[in-house]
Amino acid sequence: MADEEVATRAPESDAVQDSLFKGDSIAQEGPSMGEHCTTDRPTPSGEVPTGEISKLGGVDAYITKPADYPHSPSKLLLLLTGGTGINSTNNKLQADKYASEGFLVIMPDQFDGDAAPNSAPEAAPEAEPSLIERLKLGVADTAKSFLIDMWLARHTPEKVLPLLHKVLEAAKEEFADAVANGGGIYAVGYCFGAKYVLLLGGQHLDSVMFGVDKPTDEEAGTSSKGPYIKAGAVAHGTQVTPADISGVKVPMSLICVEDDPLFPEEIRKAGEDALVKSGTEHEFKIYPGVPHGFAVLGDYADSKIKEAQQQAFGEMLGWLQAH
């Protein structure tokens, strides 16, 4: 894979290229995401979100606060989700977990009301399907993959970043006490959201920040901007390029899945080498034997995945608290 190739081609998208949509440019070239990026795991029993959705900078955001805020000081945390977005119960509970640890959490609707296709809790497994049922499921998976590619084409950096900047500017005003207490804004990102935490934590030319090819001389009007956050932590990113990582200028923790087709080793290695060269404080944690998306709150039958999920949360939280 070339250095600039996006690290998000899911295995199911290969079927799109080879069957229904031969010749379609989006199906052939557009990035894709896996099931764990677009479908919630079952919600842990008995857990109910405690925050609320309101407008922040004109953008819907799920906001959840520590129980003793504002009587006790808090720090501001931006949480960026995978494709299931802010209406996902699991994502709300994930935000609540950070709030219970002393962060005032803002989880914005980075998709502007357009969450990933078929975003819904994952159904419980049933009996082994018949051959005909498996064929039907294969066609459905291929169609869904195409829909996700189309959806991703609607949610590019030039669409997502302006929404995030509106939220950040409004948050600095409305929650100035939390921003001041933390000495800036912290951020965590999962799957889709991980790329944008990396971008917000970086110093990039306009051409990198907005995903377009522009001349890099000053006469063309390009300039370096950022970083917009103090420190960040991301888990199993999608759509991430080496440039996204190499531009990072703030302390960054990256939780990765071993042999992850959505975040291949060559992308990780190139990014890690760049961070080492730049002297940017960072850490990479590699988790074997877990699926992409494991760090997003949700129930698993496999106790090893449950333990890894809890460990990843603890490591991300610890990184933020240490910075």
- The DSSP letter of residue 303 is H
Q: What is the C-alpha separation between 189 and 258, in angstroms, rounded?
A: 18
What's the pLDDT band for 196 if we cut at 50, 70, 90?
A: very high
Contact 33, 12 (CB under 8 A): no
Q: What is the C-alpha separation between 66 and 227, in angstroms, rounded?
A: 26
Round the CA-based radius of gyration of the chain to a whole number and report it.
19
35-54: pLDDT as tens digits: 667 788 999 888 899 999 99
Domains of the chain in start order, with CATH, are 11-321 (3.40.50.1820)
- When the pLDDT of each residue in the chain is averaged and rounded to a whole number, the result is 81
Q: Is the pLDDT score of 17 beyond 80?
A: no
The 3-state DSSP class for residue 323 equals coil
Amino acid at 270: A
User: What global pTM score does this model have?
Assistant: 0.80
224-255: pLDDT as tens digits: 688 999 999 999 999 999 999 999 999 999 99
77-89: pLDDT as tens digits: 999 999 899 999 9
Contact 84, 110 (CB under 8 A): no
Query: Which residues, in sequence order, are CB contacts of 294 under 8 Å at separation 6+?
Result: 36, 236, 257, 287, 300, 305, 308, 309, 312
